[in-house]
Structure 1
C-alpha cells in the first residue's frame, strides 16, 4: 500500500451517462447526453462512458452522437460478454469499450450459466476480438468484491495477457469494506493498470475509492453527484476534492464541478441534497452567529477549502442562529446603514422569524430594516434566470433573482 501523497495524477471514468442513467426514473435525451458529455470533457474527465450500445437503436444513436463530438476524452460503450455487443459499439464509432464479464460464482454459474474455465476462455476471445478491431479495452470483473480472489486474478490476468489495456475491480453491489478493497486491488495491480468501480450501499464508496488508489488503482469509475442504481455510484467530485485537498493529487478541473453538478441535477431531475458535500446548497453557507463571525474575520475559519476551488461562492444565511456580525454583513451588502440599537432590533426580528422555522431571505431582511429605520425604499427584483424540469418523479424549478 502506498501513501496517497505519493500518488501522481489519478484519472476518472465518468459513467453518469450509463450507470447514472440507470437510476430509477432517469432517461436522458440525445441533447442531454451531448451537453453533459461536453461539460464532462471541459472538466477534464479522461474517459466518458456514453451508454450501452446493446440497449437499442435510440441509445446507439445517442452514443454515436457523443462519439462524434471530437472530445479530448476517450468515449466508450459498456458491453456485455457477447461479441455482438462489441460489434454494436464499433458501429457507434466509440474509442473503446468497457467489457463486463462475470467474476463471482453467483454471476458465473447462476446469472450466465457457464463454468469458470469457459468464462476465462470467452473473455480472452472477446478481448482479442476487440483489440484486433482497434478498440481501447477495459475488462470489468462484475461482482468482483464477492468473487474468489484467486479466480478474479486468473480471469483478469488472462484479459491482460490477451491485450486488454486495463482491468477493473468492481464492487458492483456496494458490498465491500475498505480492507476487502485493499486486498483485492493490491493483488490486481500486480497484473497491470487497474481501475476501481465502487457503489455507496454501505456509505463507503469514497473510502473504498481512496483505498483502491492507495492499493495501486490509477483510474476511478463514478458519476457526478453520485447518482446511479440503488444508493448510487461514488461521487467523482467528492473523490476529486479529497485527493486535491487532502493529498495534493490532481484528477479533474475542480472549478467546473458546480456548474456540472447543476446541469446533471437539472437534466436528470434528481435534486442535490442541501447537505451534499462539495455541491450541496449548504456546503458553503453559514448561519450560526459564531461561525458567521469567525468566517467574516477569516474565510478559512470554518471551511476546509475556499468555495472558489469548486466553482462556488460563500453565502451567509440568516435565521434563528444569526448573530450581529452576520446581520450587519448582510445589511452592508445592500448598502444599508443602521445604528447599534437598530441593529439589535433587526437581529431580534430575524431570530423571531427563524424561531418559526422560516428562512430569512434578503427581501425579508430589507423589509425588516425598512420598518426598524423608518426608511421605506423602492425595492425592485430582477429575474436573472428560471429553469423548470418535469417529466420525472420529482419536478423541480430553480429561480435566480437579483
Structure 2
C-alpha cells in the first residue's frame, strides 16, 4: 500500500524559533522536495505576510508534480489569500477540542461546525482541494470529532487529518484513535508533534491504524520539540513495514537534510537517526571488526541507502581492524606489530582527553613507520589588525612549494579574516571549512586554545588540530595542517 507524504517544512518547520527562510531558500527546498518525490508541499501560510505570499507564489509557478498547499484558518480572508497565491489546495485547520473551542475561539461546538462547513463550502466553490485538519484532535471528544469530519466531507472535503497538536499520543493510543477513521471514504492523514519524543512512533502507529498520509518536516524541525521527522518516518516505512511504501527517493534523504540544516541554521544533533553525523560512525573495536566482515552485524541499513558513507572513528575504543581499515584509506600499509604500536599510541593520547584527528593519526603512523612528509605549505608570517572601529583585516605570507606568497583578507572577526586571507590563495581555493570547534584546555586569559577543524576537498574530508595560547594562530595552524594533508592525499 502506498503511503503519501505531506511535507510542512516550509510552514510548520519555519515556525521553529529563530528560523526565517528567504523566498530563494524556500524555493530551493521546495524544488528538492518535489525532486525526491514528496506528494504534497505545504508552502506556507498565505495570511502571514506579503512576503510569505510572494514566496508561495514562487513555488506555485514552478509546475511541480507535488500538490502545493497553503495553511488556512476557516476564515474567508485566509482562503482569499490562498487563492491569490494560486495554490491547488488548502490545509484547512479547525480546532476541535473543547479547550480550543471555548477558551481560544470563545464559541460553541455547533458554531464551530458551522464555521468549518462554511469554510469548506467556500474553498470548494473556488476550486480548491481541501484537507480538513482537526487541531488538537488527540484531546477532542471522538463523537464530536467524527461529526466535524462527516459534515466537512458532505461539504466536499477531499481528505481529513488528525493533529496531535501537543504530542500527547502514545503508539497505542495513536493506533486506537486512527482506527476509528479507517472506514471513512476519504484519505486520512496524521500530523504529530514531538513534545514527548514520540512523533515518529505515533505516526507509524497511525499508519498501522489506517492513516494513508503523514505530515512531517525535514530533520523534524518545528515549534517546541518539533514535528514528525521526515527522514526517520520514510526510512522506517521502507525498512520496517513490508506492507507499505512511499514515493520518496530514499538515497537523496541526506542531501535534503543538509540543505534544510544549512538554510535554517538548525543544528542536526550528531546522534540523530539516519542523518546525524554519528548515524553510521563506528569506534568500538568489536563493532568495527564485525562491520568490516558484514555490515549487517551492527547496521540495520547500509549508509548508501540514504546517501551516506560509513566511517570508522579514531579513539580509545577502536580496535586494530577498524584502525587498519582507516590507515589503508590514508594510503598507509602496516604489519601487525606496527598496527598494534599505532593503536597503543592512539589509546594513550585519547586517555589524556584528547580528540584524535586524522592529522594526529598521520603523525603517530609516520613516527612508527619513520616516514616524514615535507609540508608543501609553511606559514611564514601572520599579521592581524582589529578593533571596535576597524574591519578585522589579516595579511599572511606563506611558503608554497618553496615560493613566497603574500595575501590579505577581511572578515567578521580576526579568525575569519585570517582564514579568508588563506582561502584566496590557489592552494586553498577549492577547500571548504565544514566544521570548526574551539576548546580552552586550561583556565585563565592565557589558556591554551585547542582548535579542531574539518576540511573538505571534493569527496575527501580530513580533520586537523592547532593548539596555541592564541586562538588566531591555533586556527591558522590547524587550517594549514589540514590543507597540507589534503595536498599530500
TM-score class normalised by the smaller sequence? over 0.9
The structure with the greater share of residues assigned to strand is 2
The list of structure 1 runs, each at least 4 consecutive aligned residues, that deviate by more than 6 angstroms after superposition, is: none
Q: Name the SS for the 2:297 alignment partner.
A: coil
Superposition pairs of residues 223-302 of structure 1, within 5 angstroms: 223-248=217-242, 249-251=244-246, 252-302=248-298
Q: Name the SS for the 2:256 alignment partner.
A: helix
Aligned equivalent of 2:94? 101
**CA deviations over 1:171-228 (Å, ceiling 9, x no partner):** 0011122232222211123223110000111111111101111111000001010000
Aligned equivalent of 1:392? none
What number of residue pairs does the alignment pair up?
388
Question: Partners of 1:208 and 1:11 in 2: how far apart?
Answer: 16
Aligned equivalent of 2:193? 199
The alpha carbon displacement at 1:340 in A equals 2.1
TM-score, normalised to structure 1's length? 0.93
Aligned equivalent of 2:348? 352
Question: Partners of 2:86 and 2:304 in 1: how far apart?
Answer: 37
Question: Partners of 2:454 and 2:120 in 1: how far apart?
Answer: 46
The alpha carbon displacement at 1:379 in A equals 5.6
Whose radius of gyration is greater, 1 or 2?
A: 2
* Gaps in structure 2 of 5+ consecutive residues: 377-426, 437-452, 461-489
The alpha carbon displacement at 1:87 in A equals 0.5
- Verify: 1:376 aligned to 2:432, yes or no: no
Question: Partners of 1:361 and 1:96 in 2: how far apart?
Answer: 51
**CA deviations over 1:46-72 (Å, ceiling 9, x no partner):** 100011000010110111111112111
Question: Partners of 1:379 and 1:77 in 2: how far apart?
Answer: 56
**CA deviations over 1:302-344 (Å, ceiling 9, x no partner):** 1001111101011111101011111111111122122322211
Aligned equivalent of 1:35? 28
Taking CA–CA contacts closer than 8 Å with sequence separation of 6 or more, which of the two structures ends up with the larger relative contact order?
A: 1
**CA deviations over 1:75-134 (Å, ceiling 9, x no partner):** 100001111101100100111100001100011111011111111112111111111211
Aligned equivalent of 2:178? 185
Q: Name the SS for the 2:296 alignment partner.
A: coil
1:212 aligned to which of 183, 206, 211: 206
**CA deviations over 1:286-307 (Å, ceiling 9, x no partner):** 1101111111111212100111
Question: Partners of 1:169 and 1:398 in 2: how far apart?
Answer: 44
* Gaps in structure 1 of 5+ consecutive residues: 1-7, 390-396
CA distance 1:398–1:148, shift in 2 (3 Å): farther
**Could you tell me whether the CA contact under 8 Å between 1:42 and 1:256 is conserved in 2?**
no
Aligned equivalent of 2:432? 385
- Residue range with higher mean Cα deviation, 19-28 or 171-180: 171-180
Question: Partners of 2:353 and 2:204 in 1: how far apart?
Answer: 39
TM-score, normalised to structure 2's length? 0.77
- Residue range with higher mean Cα deviation, 375-384 or 321-330: 375-384
Superposition pairs of residues 70-219 of structure 1, within 5 angstroms: 70-191=63-184, 192-219=186-213
Aligned equivalent of 1:5? none
- Verify: 1:336 aligned to 2:336, yes or no: no
**Could you tell me whether the CA contact under 8 Å between 1:223 and 1:234 is conserved in 2?**
yes
Question: Partners of 1:201 and 1:367 in 2: how far apart?
Answer: 46
Question: Partners of 2:346 and 2:269 in 1: how far apart?
Answer: 25
The alpha carbon displacement at 1:386 in A equals 4.1
Question: Partners of 2:112 and 2:175 in 1: how far apart?
Answer: 25
**CA deviations over 1:351-400 (Å, ceiling 9, x no partner):** 122223333222221111111111112467975434699xxxxxxx9742
**Could you tell me whether the CA contact under 8 Å between 1:48 and 1:76 is conserved in 2?**
yes
Question: Partners of 2:178 and 2:53 in 1: how far apart?
Answer: 33
Question: Partners of 1:379 and 1:289 in 2: how far apart?
Answer: 32
2:216 aligned to which of 208, 217, 222: 222
CA distance 1:274–1:161, shift in 2 (3 Å): same
